[in-house]
Structure 1
Amino acid sequence: MSEHARLNGNGAAGVPMAGRVLPFTIPARSARGRAARLGPALAAILSAHDYPAPLRRLLGEALILTVLIGTTVQKGDGQTTVQAQSSGPIDLLVCDYRAGEIRGYLRFDPERLDEITPDALLPALFGTGYLAITIERDAEERYQGIVPLEGDTLCHAVERYFVDSEQIPTLVRGAVRQAEDGAWEAGGLLVQHLPHGETDGPRLAARTGNDDWDHVLALASTISEAELTDSHLSEGTLLWRLFNEDEVRVSPAIAITRGCRCSVQHFRDVLGRFPAEERAEMRGPGGTIDVNCEFCSRLFPIDIGD
């Protein structure tokens, strides 16, 4: 595929591919976006913990949103982290994206599971809390935006983040479902309006009442959850259904995999920063410091010596 291919009704963007993000622009409408599916990465992440079904849907939504945000704001090896903390049954949710790799987990109070119904909305899941989005492009460039956990879904909270923190009109949709064979599928769509057609340039303060954005917003809003989670519907075909009135240009797809960066050496390096007295207190009966990675649910016995 060339750097920018024009979309057509024959699926020029490619055949369905498990776990990928398809970047696109609509030049005449000063719009850009991402269509994404998680593929097998979702199953790998959800299988690390025994989450109830409503929490699997929530984590799946958070993961697809992290991919959409990360591939939009990141270039190179930087990291994007989406974190929610609250006073509700779910007190912590963390996902991060780096160079095509996604990981995430959530922490909940088992004694409050009766408060979570299958159709629970954001207030019932989190109570009072906030959503923090942290963008790290290198060791010296770090930015964080924080918004309240308000609205019915995490998508609503992310839309508010882009309006409040980035001043960019944004539509975000994410959907998660369990197929008849028990497999979980997740897909998402992010569309943004960048004034003056600067789809690849600096972000500018958004104007209101823009006819081009109203047009794109109306079309993008017709997307259904079934279309987002249909792994047999290519991302290119999905975009064609939405925006065939205009020229849509797609860039090479970004493959998405589950990636946890835990390792013995990583934990040794982290523990080595603690004073010797504190490391001694951390040691278990066997003389090792047992470190549990919440992302992949693996236990690492670390022997850091003297």
Structure 2
Amino acid sequence: MANPALTDNLLSFAIPAKDCRGRIVRLGPALDEILAAHDYPSMIRNVLAEAVCLTALLGGLLKDDGAQLTLQAQTEAGVIRLLACDYKDGALRGYVDYDRERFASQAIDPTLASLFGKGYLAITFDLPAPRGRNQGIVPLEGASLAEAVQQYFFQSEQIPTLIRVAVGENSGQISAGGLLVQHLPEGEEGRERLHVRLDHPEWEHIEIMGGSVQASELTETDLPLEDVLWRLFSESDEVRVLSGKPCVKGCRCNEDHIRGVIARFPKEDKKDMVDDDGNIAIDCAFCSKKFTITSASLNN
């Protein structure tokens, strides 16, 4: 069984002498809750687990309360038609829509390309006003979702970035862990980046050390995340753990929220939603809950 104190936790860290920042996360029970909402085959489940872990790492870069990170993969002619995850104030959720018949005909160990076909990965940062929304879109290329996200930082943000994610299972429990390290030339996190050198010697050293992380170190639920950082970067003068944040399964669907969404539709559209019994039926894809709202209870 997972040690509750060592799972569902996201740590921020910095390596000041190397001008690097990072995030490290391990998910356990919260991930189980997200995956349990649907009866996914193990391969689809693992893809979603990787995506949720990546979403936690990216969400950990947010500084403002109420900010949201959304990771979404859309495909053309893929077995997986849609993958969506988001992070807000430590709350995670995720969902995969896939073609069951086509998945059944796949190889035992399908590649990312065979699952997604021609796909695109959209990463959206929703920040408080006045900054608003910032979105980057990159092709779904590489051997894993982690590689595709790493490519996003190279293309859209031009920040040297290393990302490693692993998914494991122990006694029927799924765990996932991830490491994200970035090089911020010209100073620590929070200072303006004046230029970026992708071949900076300090970054090359950190990239080698971070890249040596083992899948078992990321997913082992009895190994403190601080110990993983020490194993990887102990050669540095200082590894500064800045903060920790718990991660939870957090779907925002409830009857009040559903009513608020319906209220934004024009009157004629709301009429079209009503079934023969005078109800509006809403299914939440994320948590698999069903809501029934009576037409008479809405303020038309």
* Range into which the TM-score falls when normalised by the shorter chain: over 0.9
CA distance in 2, matches of 1:158, 1:73: 16
**Alignment counterpart, residue 93 of structure 1, candidates 74, 83, 86:** 83
The structural deviation recorded for 1:74 is: 4.0
Select between 19-28 and 282-291 the one with higher mean Cα deviation.
282-291
The structural deviation recorded for 1:276 is: 1.9
CA distance in 2, matches of 1:85, 1:277: 30
CA distance in 2, matches of 1:204, 1:265: 46
CA distance in 2, matches of 1:56, 1:118: 14
The DSSP-based 3-state class of the residue aligned with 2:60 is helix
**Alignment counterpart, residue 211 of structure 1, candidates 201, 210, 217:** 201
1:243-262 map, 5 Å: 243-246=233-236, 247-262=238-253
Q: Which residue of 2 aligns with 1:4?
A: none
Cα contact 1:123–1:150 (8 A) shared by 2: yes
Q: Which residue of 1 aligns with 2:18?
A: 29
Label 1:163 to 1:224 Cα distance change in 2 as closer, same or farther (>3 A): same
The structural deviation recorded for 1:201 is: 2.0
CA distance in 1, matches of 2:192, 2:93: 29
The structural deviation recorded for 1:98 is: 0.2
CA distance in 1, matches of 2:72, 2:159: 21
The structural deviation recorded for 1:170 is: 0.2
The DSSP-based 3-state class of the residue aligned with 2:64 is coil
- Encode CA deviations 1:144-165: one digit per residue, 9 max, x unaligned: 0000000010011001101111
The structural deviation recorded for 1:139 is: 5.2
The DSSP-based 3-state class of the residue aligned with 2:221 is coil
CA distance in 2, matches of 1:202, 1:120: 42
Cα contact 1:43–1:184 (8 A) shared by 2: yes
Q: Which residue of 1 aligns with 2:277?
A: 286
Select between 81-90 and 68-77 the one with higher mean Cα deviation.
68-77
- Encode CA deviations 1:88-124: one digit per residue, 9 max, x unaligned: 1001000000001000101001110134444322101
1:81 and 2:73 correspond: no
1:3-152 map, 5 Å: 16-87=5-76, 88-138=78-128, 140=130, 141-152=132-143
CA distance in 1, matches of 2:120, 2:195: 24
Select between 204-213 and 291-300 the one with higher mean Cα deviation.
204-213
1:172 and 2:163 correspond: yes
Select between 66-75 and 228-237 the one with higher mean Cα deviation.
66-75
Cα contact 2:75–2:116 (8 A) shared by 1: yes
Report the residue type matching 2:240 in the other structure: R
Task: Give TM-score, length-normalised by structure 1.
Answer: 0.92
Structure 1: stretches of 5+ with no match in the other structure? 1-14
CA distance in 1, matches of 2:38, 2:135: 28
Report the residue type matching 1:22 in the other structure: L
The structural deviation recorded for 1:279 is: 1.2
Runs of 4+, deviation exceeding 4 Å: none
CA distance in 1, matches of 2:54, 2:254: 26
The structural deviation recorded for 1:295 is: 0.5
Report the residue type matching 1:89 in the other structure: V
CA distance in 2, matches of 1:204, 1:284: 58
Cα contact 2:150–2:162 (8 A) shared by 1: yes
Identity %: 47
- Encode CA deviations 1:264-284: one digit per residue, 9 max, x unaligned: 111111111222222112112
The structural deviation recorded for 1:202 is: 2.9
Cα contact 1:115–1:124 (8 A) shared by 2: no
Q: Which residue of 1 aligns with 2:211?
A: 221
Select between 195-204 and 212-221 the one with higher mean Cα deviation.
195-204
Q: Which residue of 2 aligns with 1:264?
A: 255
Q: Kindly report the root-mean-square deviation, in angstroms, between the aligned alpha carbons of the 2 structures.
A: 1.4
CA distance in 2, matches of 1:108, 1:220: 33
Cα contact 1:102–1:256 (8 A) shared by 2: yes
Report the residue type matching 1:197 in the other structure: G
Task: Give TM-score, length-normalised by structure 2.
Answer: 0.93
CA distance in 2, matches of 1:298, 1:198: 44
CA distance in 1, matches of 2:56, 2:194: 23
- Encode CA deviations 1:75-97: one digit per residue, 9 max, x unaligned: 21110000000121001000000
**Alignment counterpart, residue 231 of structure 1, candidates 221, 244, 260:** 221
* Count, aligned residues: 291
Report the residue type matching 1:47 in the other structure: A
